[in-house]
Amino acid sequence: MSVYDLTGRKALVTGGARGLGAGMAEALARAGAAVVIGDIQEEAGKATADSLRESGATAAFVSLDVTEDASWESAVSQTIDELGGLDIVVNNAGVEISGLVADLDPADVRRMLEVNVLGTALGVKHAFRAMRPDGPAGNGGAVVNISSVAATIPFPGIAGYAATKSAVDRLTRVAALESGKLGYGVRVNCVYPGLVPTEMGAKLAADMESLGLWPSAEAAVGDVIALTPLGRLGEVADMADAVVFLASDGARFITGAGLPVDGGMGM
């Protein structure tokens, strides 16, 4: 059996209704994992789960607001009941709200802090409680947090987002250390995705034009590509395959690490 085979593993993917999260859920399912989509977008989330089932995977949807502790507790409990365990949690849910530092909107920053930082922290909390030896799943596992290349390089117009994604990096490392020292048996890593032309990525490019930082969205994208040694934007599959790797036994001796999947942009 390949060390990247996830047959028998049970995964929960937050923000899995669409975009990168849906791609990650699909990649985990292709690798053999049973997958639960956790999202506030019920219709889209159920559609993604239905699509996975139609392809032969075991999949389900649970309603999950990552900013609410009780919602996490319920979603993890439902996931364990549905799948018979929990081995993988992918904290992908996130929001990006562009803005210049000189025009910073406290409400926008609070929203990003709640979803990107608190939401990820609660995901790690409930993954630990479920997967550690005294938990209802109890077999250890892997947590993969989704940071961003914005945590590794300065980029204009996204100070709040970059700050929250930098926090995800630090949270990942502290959590990995705690898990190891307390014998939880849970590896914790993060991924730094580069720019991907999803709905969020397209909006970011458009924001760069509206903020006056680039003459057009196309020019902004062109400059991102120019900064990327591999000479292209990222694809959903690039990010999803990295998540599968970190969730698999191929990464069995990797914890507290950040994996850039950015074509070299952040090096």
Q: At what angle do helices 236-247 and 19-30 cross, to 10 degrees?
A: 50
Distance, in Å, from the CA atom of 7 to the CA atom of 251, rounded to the nearest integer, reads: 16
Apex 55 CA angle, 73 and 22, nearest 5: 45
What number of CA atoms fall less than 13 Å from residue 63's CA on the CB side?
5
Enter the tokens of residue 97.
């709200």
Is 184 catalytic? The answer is no
Sign of CA dihedral 228, 208, 21, 144: positive
Question: Which one of the listed residues 4, 161, 184, 192 is annotated catalytic?
Answer: 161
- Which residues, other chains included, contact 54 with Cβ-Cβ below 8 Å and sequence gap of 6+? none
Largest CA distance in the chain: 56
Q: Which residues pair with 259 in a beta bridge?
A: 191
- Give me the active site residues, please: 161
